[in-house]
Amino acid sequence: MDWTPAQLPSGRHGLSREYVVNSQRSRLLGAAVLIAGAEGYAGMTVSAVIARAGVSRKTFYEFFQDREDIFLATFDQLLDSALDGAREAYENGGESWPERLRALLQAGLEALAARPHEARLGFVEVLAAGPRALQRRDAALREFMQFLAPGYEAADGDVPELMPEAIVGAVYEIVYARVLQERTAELAELLPQLMYVALAPFLGPAAARELAERPAPARASARRRASA
């Protein structure tokens, strides 16, 4: 996401009120991401956010009640973007469920690796932002369970009802550990192992290993960049 729109010119500029409002709010959200990602939720004070965004304290309180409020707004926007990207990757990932799941995991891991501040906010600092943030985190994990539901149709034998919850929880913890250790750049390398984690409970170890070890195809966005 583009969190850093250009700062508005001073004085009379002829820009519409809607443009000004959207720019100010985007700069505040962008500042929150950068500060939380670099200094943690504790460092994401209102003073730090408005200084980074280049807006007044009065402007901040026109949009948000406090730092928790802006953190939640930022998390919600990140989650919406992540879910949109996940759905797009899944729907365009191929004909079979394992192919679509691979496309989703590949897109997600690459996006996180490229955006360490967003990754830290969404996986680490959300745990420090209070009970409302934790509720949103839990709801987000449930959203991602939907992509595992088709595994029951492909399952080799009975699979416990809670398996999607277990898989999503395991993937979350694995990603969380890398982000916490500032190893976010390594996340894309985990694709084969996480594919195995997601597939093995449904397809069995042998089939999961064979599918997980297949070379990941270039994603459409990467192919477009290469041909540009």
Same domain, 93 and 192: yes
Q: Which residue, 49, 66, 83, sits at the end of a domain?
A: 66
CATH of the domain at 134: 1.10.357
> Taking the C-alpha atoms of 178, 179, 181 and 183 in order, what is their torsion angle to the nearest 10 degrees?
70
Sign (positive or negative) of CA dihedral 50, 51, 57, 58: negative
Of 201, 197, 193, 196, the residue nearest 161 (C-alpha): 201
Confidence at residue 21, expressed as pLDDT on a 0 to 100 scale = 81
User: For each of the chain's 228 residues, which pLDDT tens digit applies?
Assistant: 444 544 554 555 556 667 668 888 999 999 999 999 999 999 999 999 999 999 999 999 999 999 999 999 999 999 999 999 999 999 999 999 999 999 999 999 999 999 999 999 999 999 999 999 999 999 999 999 999 999 999 897 899 999 999 999 999 999 999 999 999 999 999 999 999 999 999 999 999 999 998 876 665 544 444 444
Same domain, 75 and 157: yes
Q: Is residue 169 part of a domain?
A: yes
Confidence at residue 223, expressed as pLDDT on a 0 to 100 scale = 46
Same domain, 87 and 176: yes
Q: Is residue 86 part of a domain?
A: yes
